[in-house]
A and B are shown apart, each in its own frame.
Chain A
Amino acid sequence: NAGVTQTPKFQVLKTGQSMTLQCAQDMNHEYMSWYRQDPGMGLRLIHYSVGAGITDQGEVPNGYNVSRSTTEDFPLRLLSAAPSQTSVYFCASSNTGIYGYTFGSGTRLTVV
């Protein structure tokens, strides 16, 4: 049972490049979310999904896109990377949401 798997673990991008952060879960969870973690800021919600085909914006959605074509996968796309997007990105999933989420191990992204 792998839980929540994020790839890649590390990435360096140049300003203006695009990329997709992958997230997959094998627990048949309906709820999935993307957070970014910056020093002194805690975790901030980027986008979330309550099931396949249903997504919505969180607190800091600008510059990011998501889609959810299957229950298992919830990729996060950076459209045109900016240095302000340098952060650690976490994907999380839950079957109920209110009783807690399971987090992946994170993707450490640097934009130069």
Chain B
Amino acid sequence: QKEVEQDPGPLSVPEGAIVSLNCTYSNSAFQYFMWYRQYSRKGPELLMYTYSSGNKEDGRFTAQVDKSSKYISLFIRDSQPSDSATYLCAVTQGAQKLVFGQGTRLTINP
């Protein structure tokens, strides 16, 4: 069993839709949670990080963590074509080792 499971998609939605991206993890020792966005042929860029259960908002993006269910989500409101990318969740116990999900490829159609 992989430590982090993420539906690889692809996911295609119309512009303006609310997008929900999800990951589950198996080890309750993971305490820090991140979402990265990766455009084609580019390196991942950090979107959001959080370390507590609950919601964290940043503009159109909301990261949600449920430690009791070992479930993390990223919501994108008012999605734009420029949001089309692969989204990767990542978890870690400490500073050194990030464990990534497989990534979800998202396309926002104008």
Which residues of A are at the interface with B, using a C-beta cutoff of 8 A? Answer: 4, 31, 33, 35, 40-45, 48, 50, 56, 58, 90, 94, 96-106
Contact = CB atoms under 8 A, between A and B. Distances in A.
A42 B102 contact: yes
B106 interface: no
Interface of B: 4, 6, 8, 31-32, 34, 36, 41-46, 49, 51, 88, 90, 92, 94-103
A98 B94 contact: yes
Residue of A42, A50, A102 with most chain B CB atoms under a 10 A cut-off: A42
A109 B99 CA distance: 22
Given A44-B100, A94-B95, 18 more contacts: A31-B95, A31-B96, A33-B96, A42-B101, A42-B102, A43-B90, A43-B100, A45-B99, A50-B95, A98-B32, A98-B49, A98-B51, A98-B92, A99-B32, A100-B34, A102-B46, A103-B45, A106-B41
Nearest to B32: A98
B45 to A, nearest CB: 7
Given A40-B8, A98-B51, A58 B97 contact: yes
